[in-house]
A and B are shown apart, each in its own frame.
Chain A
Amino acid sequence: MSQPILNVRGLVKRFGGLLATDHVDITVNPGEIHALIGPNGAGKTTLISQLMGELKPNEGTVEIDGRSVDGLPTAKRVGLGLARTFQITCLLPDYTVRDNVAIAVQIRQGHSFRFWSAVRREKALAEEATHFLATVGLEGRADDLVANLSHGEQKQLELAVALATKPRLLLLDEPMAGLGHVESQQMIEILRELKSQVAMLLVEHDMEAVFALADRVSVLVYGRVIATGSVDEIRDNPEVRTAYLGEGDELC
């Protein structure tokens, strides 16, 4: 198998006495969707923040394409092909939907020390932004303000903004959280289509989505990965059932 895009080894994060990330090893291979599941407070978002460089781990290393990114700031990691979405949407509320994507395109191009020509007159930027909006099915709302979007649409926009950085690995922090059934189905379809273009680490509570999309699943409990395997292996793993899925018979 080729080299993994993301290789995390022995990652540890402590908040005082709390061990939020406990020697986590995890890999994501090219073209793969690796789902990360676990109960609330298991440390999933903390892990993503460390991968992005927003939080500093106490121990361990993170490699992208075999290159260590420890100590690199978030912006550098984005340049290496990492992108994330936020569980609680984090968008630019005063901007239109298109502007939210266009600014990501602009920053990817790296030409932001330009002081004179009007950015909203740049056709190429707007067109590229519209293209990413079309990928998530938001092109019809390009001129609306973010504040006027529904929760589901904001989640889709989160994805479009992340895609606009042209990532090689997407870190998705609960993209289905708070979505209705129809919206979830839509999101699953969008992610399925994107799978051929970009590898993903999918943090998700929605088991239906995880089982529909994931190639591999890891289970995080109290900051520790207690199991990694295919969807079927995880479904049948007794330890996982007790820790997370519940001891009852019903699964999804």
Chain B
Amino acid sequence: METSLKRPVLLASVVIALIALPLVADATGYTALTSLATRVLIYGIAAASLNFVLGYGGMVSFGHAAFFGIGGYVVGILYQHYTLGEPLLGFIPGTNQMLITLPAAIVISGLMAALIGALSLRTGGVQFIMITLAFAQMLFFLFVSLKTYGGDDGLIIRRANELPGLNMRDKQTVYYVCLAVAVLFFFMLWRLVNSRFGNVIVGLRQSERRIAAIGLPAYRYKLMAFVISGMGCGLAGALMANFLRFASPDMLHWTKSGELMVMVILGGVGTLFGPLIGAAVFIVLETLLASWTENWQLGLGLILLFVVLYTQGGVQALGARLFGRRA
């Protein structure tokens, strides 16, 4: 009973701390902390989405940057058409309203995930890793060559999308919007992994053969999981484009897929909040190490090595062991 109370209390205190964070940052003069936390939240959403297929479903996708990037480009492209005043493809008007751009980013990255997933999920294992990587790289080069939308240089979004009643030019407001979206996202993810659907997805990871033998056509369920995961990454990408006020092919590069994967592994594969913790560790380490040395990846690599070899399940598992909570 004690442990069942501990978790909600811990969660509530984390949320309160996150709400208080910008105020503390302002009061202590570390204003950069708010931006850092915004990035953590956004990458946390992306990593948790990846984790849904990778950790829960056992589908090792190496191409999730594609959906992250598509989410960003949806915001960027809609914004460009909004400022130029000419409709996309001649009939879709551009917009700078977040209530439209976020759902649009989710839907379009979901459609792309359906397309990529439908082809990739016919394979498994190493082939699946390679084919998802290949699709993501195709999209990367597509956006590099799309001169209309900035090509190599990416798209600059002069102002973040608007939300009625909020001043989105304020970094703190953007942070709170991201926080609200993240809370909602993790609540939905929590419901999802504990649902009937989540049950078969986790079952498929453990033994696809067993699940087939009790009568489940695996393909459509895996595809659905892949689409949901892609939608989550698209959402994160759209938030990132708003936060950076910039969308570029870098968002789709395979190293971004790698970073998301590193966050998942750092935090804890197949856990609800592991990827968020992983994103926090990754970004804080990146910031700290980069301020010491240009070759910050070396230090990060060593730490990743340590986490993989010794924590048996990432930072989340390490924390659970240190504080005596059995996961």
Contact = CB atoms under 8 A, between A and B. Distances in A.
Contacts, number: 100
B215 A165 contact: yes
Contact of B209 (A90, A113, A162): A90
Contacts of A111: 196
B195 A114 contact: yes
B71 interface: no
B230 to A, nearest CB: 15
A62 interface: no
Given A94-B206, A119-B198, A103 B212 contact: no
Interface in A73-129: 73-76, 78-79, 83-84, 86, 90-95, 99, 103-104, 106-108, 111-120
Contacts of A54: 209, 212-213
B141 interface: no
B203 A95 contact: yes
B200 A103 contact: yes
B12 interface: no
A91 B207 contact: yes
A200 interface: no
A142 interface: no
B306 interface: no
A91 B221 contact: no
Contacts of A162: 213-214
Given A90-B209, A92-B207, A112-B200, A103 B195 contact: no
A86 B198 CA distance: 25
Contact of A107 (B192, B216, B224): B216
B206 A92 contact: yes
Nearest to B195: A115
B206 A75 contact: no
Contact of A116 (B191, B202, B224): B191
Interface of B: 191-192, 194-200, 202-203, 206-207, 209-217, 221, 224
Given A162-B214, A165-B214, 14 more contacts: A54-B209, A75-B217, A83-B213, A86-B210, A90-B207, A103-B199, A103-B200, A106-B196, A108-B215, A112-B216, A114-B196, A115-B195, A116-B191, A162-B213
Interface of A: 52, 54, 73-76, 78-79, 83-84, 86, 90-95, 99, 103-104, 106-108, 111-120, 161-162, 164-165
21 contacts: A73-B217, A75-B212, A75-B216, A76-B217, A78-B213, A83-B214, A93-B207, A95-B203, A103-B199, A103-B200, A106-B196, A107-B216, A111-B196, A112-B200, A113-B196, A114-B197, A115-B192, A115-B195, A116-B191, A119-B196, A165-B214
